[in-house]
Amino acid sequence: MKLLSRKATRNSHGQDSSYFLGWQEYEKNPYHETHNPNGIIQMGLAENQLSFDLLESWLANNPDAAGFKRDGQSIFRELALFQDYHGLPAFKKALVEFMSEIRGNQVTFDPKKLVLTAGATSSNETLMFCLAEPGEAFLLPTPYYPGFDRDLKWRTEVEIVPIECTSANDFRITESALEEAYEAAHKRNLKVKGVLVTNPSNPLGTTLTRHEVDLLLGFVIAKSIHLISDEIYSGTVFSSPRFISVMEVLKDTKYRMNAEVWNRVHIVYSLSKDLGLPGFRVGAIYSNDEDVVAAATKMSSFGLVSSQTQYLLSAMLSDKKFTSNYISENQKRLKERQEMLILGLGSAGISCLNSNSGLFCWVDMRHLLRSKTFEAEMELWKKIVYDVGLNISPGLSCHCNEPGWFRVCFANMSAETLNLAIERIKRFVQLIEINNNSKKNHQSTKNSRRRSLTKWVFRLSFDGRESDER
């Protein structure tokens, strides 16, 4: 008998979701243009590889930053020694300034209210540990990032209750959906501790409207609960409407004097998407509540950002000429890619939700389902993974309540690979159409044969009297 803990064996990690299964299938047969041209193309990974050249050229021009040097002198020993869990002040300053810049300098952030963590994964979990007891709940609008089942629930034993959003209003958050989720939690005897949203949304690739942010603030004020805004994609907003951070809305006179709500709103951020550095593991919690900041700082011992990473990035992000050029060039490239995918899918008769941000499109394949069920969605997903050779994420893995939606990533591959992926999808849809047409023809031949047979039977039984059956 294995003597493992309940947590180690608990099945709430989400590892068996199709989101992670797709990654495993990709790993077994990854596409490579020369070594494995028929392999699976990874479109289920929200990575941003479009602006590596900008980062690399900065590194080439600033060799001291990655070479453990300051003014030409080695600082290896300084970086190698034990690090204070408050983080390097120079890095925290550079990071909050970068966060302001992304928000068009509409808001400023105080480095004292920032807690560094090993990625947003750790930020979200740490906030759960700070704000909720095991068995208490957070409300999340659907569809949501599949990793949240692991990040928010697994080790903390916090529950997620869905705020059901639908395609009827482009998956926007409504007051009734919020109230229904709150009620649903109560019916399950779960105490609601807060709402967590991603803005911009993963997987929708849309930003929250000012109306939605107001709705959320009104709701958390009325219920005396927390609001977490995961703004990890805030730098990816490539077309209008512009991004409105919850921190910007809080400056409104309506909320300015409400210290309670200020203390109950927390932001999560990371450099995994905007800077395309998920391997560096740089995340952050920003909170106005000093108790949350103090508790999260202590907890951050379990997932610190290494000193050399902080040192390198503080130099990079302090270079304002670089950051301003990077932000606009990266957004331009993302926009081009999104348009390329939308156009390509459009030529295959597939449409996407209107989006203005993110590294993915929320793709509507409802018309390709055999029936309006999640079984049919899984069947279509398997065909797309194994027969078409594309790993995309089914809506079900994002807890979407309508079958037929898929998240398709566009920024983790070359333009050539994206074109190939589009070609594969087009061929697949053509084959479905040919198949459907031949089924129809077969059916109509069968029907007309049945009709003539019926006539013949009718003739036999009714002795030459024509039936009017058609």
Ligand X SMILES: Cc1ncc(COP(=O)(O)O)c(C=O)c1O
Q: Which is nearer to ligand X, 204 or 420 (CB)?
A: 204
Q: How far is the CB of 149 from ligand X (least distance, A)?
A: 12
Taking the least distance from each CB to ligand X, the nearer of 194 and 283 is 283
Does residue 121 interact with ligand X by CB under 6 A? yes
Q: Which of 142, 185, 192 is nearest to 399 (CA)?
A: 142
Q: Token match 């998240």: residue?
A: 407
Least Å distance, CB 270 to ligand X, is: 3
For ligand X, which residue has the nearest CB? Answer: 119
Enumerate residues 169-228 that contact ligand X by CB under 6 A.
Answer: 198, 202
- CB 268 within 8 Å of CB 283: yes
Q: Is position 119 an interface residue for ligand X (rule: CB under 6 A)?
A: yes
Is residue 283 within the footprint of ligand X (CB under 6 A)?
Answer: yes
**326 belongs to the catalytic site:** no
Residue of 43, 94, 120, 217 interacting with ligand X (CB under 6 A)? 120
In the numeric block, which tokens belong to residue 449?
């044969």
User: 151, 230, 289, 364: which is the annotated catalytic residue?
Assistant: 230
Q: Interacting stretch for ligand X, rule CB under 6 A, among 77-85, 98-106, 113-121, 208-216?
A: 113-121
Nearer to ligand X, 121 or 297 (CB): 121
Which range touches ligand X (CB under 6 A), out of 34-42, 116-124, 133-141, 285-293? Answer: 116-124
In a 10 Å sphere around its CB, with 0-12 CB exposed, 13-18 middle and 19+ buried, how is residue 329 labelled?
Answer: middle
Asked if the peptide bond before residue 134 counts as cis, ω within 30 degrees of 0, the response is: no
Give the start-end residues of each E strand in 329-401.
351-352, 360-364, 390-391, 393-394
Phi, psi (rounded to 5 degrees) for 230 = -85, 105
CB of 285 to ligand X, least distance (A): 12
Which residues ranging from 258 to 277 are in contact with ligand X (CB under 6 A)?
270, 272
Q: Please, are residues 128 and 12 in contact by the beta-carbon 8 Å criterion? A: no
Q: Are 284 and 310 in contact (CB under 8 A)?
A: no
Tell me if residue 163 is catalytic: no
Q: Which of 46, 102, 225, 409 binds ligand X (CB under 6 A)?
A: 46
Query: Which one of the listed residues 26, 244, 273, 342 is annotated catalytic?
Result: 273
User: Known catalytic residue: 230?
Assistant: yes
In this structure, what token pair is assigned to residue 435?
């198949």
Pick the binder of ligand X from 145, 219, 322, 360 (CB under 6 A). Answer: 145
Measured CA to CA, the distance from residue 296 to residue 285 in angstroms comes to 8
What is the phi-psi region of residue 141: left when phi exceeds 0, alpha when psi lies from -120 to 50, beta otherwise? beta
Which of these, 228, 202, 103, 85, lies nearest to 143 by C-alpha position? 202
Shorter beta-carbon distance to ligand X: residue 233 or 255: 233
Q: Least distance (Å) from ligand X to the CB of residue 201?
A: 8
Characterize the bridge pairing of strands 360-364 and 159-163.
unpaired
What is residue 267's DSSP assignment?
E
Point out which residues bind ligand X (CB under 6 A).
46, 119-121, 145, 147, 198, 202, 230, 232, 270, 272, 278, 283
Residues assigned a catalytic role = 145, 230, 232, 273
